[in-house]
Amino acid sequence: MSEELLTRRSPGAAEDALDAENRGREMDCEQPIFSALSGGAKAVGGTEPPASSHGGAGSGVAATASDSESGIFSGECELCVEHESELDWFCGTEQKLICSHCAIVGPCHGHAVTPLATRLITSVYVCVCVCVHQNQLVDVCEKMQLQALRIERFIDQTLTAKEQNLLTSASRTREQVLAQVGAAREALEEEEQRLLEEVQQEEERVEQCLLTQRAHWRQALANLSQTRSRLVHTLTHTPDAQLVTSVQELAERVEEAEGVGEPCDTDQLNLNPGCSESKLLRGLWASAVLLGPNDYGSSDLKFDERTLSPLLSLSEDFCTLTFLRKKPRQSPRYDPARFDCWPNALGSLSVSSGTHSWMVDVGQSGAFKVGVCYASVERKGSGNDARLGYNTNSWVLSHYDGEYSFFHAGKKVPLQVGRTPKRIGLLLDWPSQTLLFYEPESCAVLHCVTQHFSAPLLLACAVTDRSITILPYQIN
């Protein structure tokens, strides 16, 4: 190595070297190890590092520094010409290898110097970090490329197939809807025609009966008037002696008048309501009311605490009745509205118009009654007058001992229930005077009764096993 690189530089040259050092640091941040490795490769090749000329402060200095550092990589130990010590330091100001004496008392005193080992480790670390980041970026790019391919495949294959399936499914669903509505419409039209014909036949029958009755009683009236006229004429124009001899004739005429009889109304003169009975129509009507857009429920319906039997307890929200297996020791205060013997309770709202729907959750209860009653139903005593379903003031669906029945006025109508319902629905249509019990899961009609209701109705319930609950109304 030439002596020019080891001599002290002038102040102007030092400033140029400082600028070169700053530029060198910027380069070190990018790829410091590559220049060192390049110099090392030259050292391994056995070529002497070239000495710079006196005018080479730019590329010559950098080349000298690179060549000086190559001794570290080649394993050869170079010595300082001036101090004959190992070149184990690097002067950043002059960009060359120096010994420790040069750094402390020599020409590089006060320059930016670093141990060569530290510089090498830093360069290697930076190089490793760059390689790691490069590998990570390569991995990210590969993942992004794969994701892009998956997105393209999803757009070209999956979404296209989904679009085709959508068109096919929508077309098939439309056909199903039209077919089902068409079948329902056809069945309803046929049922409408059948029922209208039955109503027409029943109307003609009643009309014929009315005509017959009218003709009969008009004739009877004419005969009666004629007979009366004859008797009056006989009484006013027949002498007494002759009247005595006409007793037999008069008796026959009186008997004839009495034989006319008294007119009376019969069911034959009324339209039979059974002519409009139709399970199909009833089921469709109930489904339309229950599942249609109109609001027939009431969220304000609760149990009236005043009517609560001492055998029952009422929840805080006044919606759940629970049977008490042990009768309370202390009876509640007397209230004329309270049932004192039977485990009954009535609803808080009365109905006397419109269409209304209620839902009662019967859960696992094995003994309960759900229905309606007049407010005038008896509340006191253990007789049938206060027993729901056993008087003329109440209509209830009963579940007891595994059987479902409808009770009114003490008459029992056994019901065929396909599956055990968890909820019982009540539908009261006041205009048609119809009370319908249904199973809400399938909208199956459990029982339907048409009755002339003469007074407002209240929800009526009873329970002797577990509990039942009024459910809040929900629009379907």
- pLDDT, one tens digit per residue, over 149-161 is 999 999 999 999 9
Alpha-carbon distances, residue 303 vs 202, 348, 379 (angstroms):
44, 6, 15
Confidence of residue 18 (pLDDT cuts 50, 70, 90): very low
Give the count of alpha carbons within 13 A of 344, CB side only. 32
Q: Are 80 and 99 in contact (CB under 8 A)?
A: yes
CA atoms of 89 and 268, how far apart (whole Å): 131
Examine the pLDDT at 431 and tell me if it is beyond 60.
yes
pLDDT at 244: 61
Decide if 476 is inside a domain: no
Provide the 10 A C-beta neighbour count for residue 195. Answer: 16
Domain shared by 305 and 453, yes or no: yes
Examine the pLDDT at 395 and tell me if it is beyond 80.
yes
pLDDT at 17: 44
- Among the candidates 224, 258, 292, a domain finishes at 258
Out of 173-187, 243-257, 326-340, least confident range: 243-257
> What is the identity of the amino acid at 183?
A
- Among the candidates 199, 231, 258, a domain finishes at 258
Confidence of residue 473 (pLDDT cuts 50, 70, 90): low
CA atoms of 50 and 298, how far apart (whole Å): 103
Cα-based torsion angle of the residue sequence 392, 395, 397, 400 in order, rounded to the nearest 10 degrees: -30
Which of 210-214, 271-275, 439-443 has maximum average pLDDT? Answer: 210-214
More confident call, 57 vs 268: 268
Examine the pLDDT at 178 and tell me if it is beyond 70.
yes
Decide if 264 is inside a domain: no
Q: Show the domain range for 361.
A: 277-327+337-470
Residue 46 phi, psi (nearest 5): 90, 10
What value does the mean pLDDT take over residues 403-425? 93
pLDDT at 193: 94
Domain shared by 59 and 147, yes or no: no
CA atoms of 406 and 397, how far apart (whole Å): 5
Domain shared by 203 and 297, yes or no: no
Long-range contacts at 61-65 (CB < 8 A, ≥ 24 apart) = 61/5, 61/17, 61/20, 61/94, 61/95, 61/96, 62/20, 62/24, 62/35, 62/95, 64/1, 64/5, 64/95, 64/96, 65/90, 65/95, 65/96, 65/97
Domain tally, the chain: 3
Examine the pLDDT at 75 and tell me if it is beyond 70.
no
pLDDT at 79: 87
Domain shared by 403 and 290, yes or no: yes
Examine the pLDDT at 66 and tell me if it is beyond 60.
no
Examine the pLDDT at 64 and tell me if it is beyond 50.
no
CA atoms of 123 and 32, how far apart (whole Å): 5
Decide if 121 is inside a domain: no
Query: Token digits for 50?
Result: 């070239």
CATH for 311: 2.60.120.920
> What is the identity of the amino acid at 290?
L
pTM: 0.57
Share of the chain above pLDDT 90, in %: 45
Decide if 272 is inside a domain: no
Domain shared by 347 and 466, yes or no: yes
More confident call, 237 vs 466: 466
Which of 105-109, 174-178, 256-260 has maximum average pLDDT? Answer: 174-178
Confidence of residue 275 (pLDDT cuts 50, 70, 90): confident
Query: Token digits for 208?
Result: 């014929």
Q: Which residue has the tokens 């809807």?
A: 177
Mean pLDDT score of the chain: 80
Domain shared by 183 and 303, yes or no: no
pLDDT at 245: 61
Examine the pLDDT at 10 and tell me if it is beyond 60.
no
Domain shared by 320 and 425, yes or no: yes
Out of 225-239, 267-281, 391-405, least confident range: 225-239
pLDDT at 243: 65
Domain shared by 205 and 345, yes or no: no
B/e letters for 335-364, b = 16+ CB within 10 Å, e = fewer, are eeebbbebbbbbbbbebeeeebbbbbbbee
Examine the pLDDT at 382 and tell me if it is beyond 60.
yes
- Among the candidates 258, 293, 310, a domain finishes at 258
Decide if 116 is inside a domain: no
Domain shared by 239 and 174, yes or no: yes
Alpha-carbon distances, residue 430 vs 288, 306, 353 (angstroms):
16, 26, 5
Domain shared by 454 and 388, yes or no: yes
Of the candidates 92, 117, 113, 93, the one whose C-alpha atom is nearest the C-alpha of residue 101 is 113
Decide if 265 is inside a domain: no
pLDDT at 28: 44
Out of 35-49, 132-146, 355-369, 399-413, least confident range: 35-49
Domain shared by 296 and 437, yes or no: yes
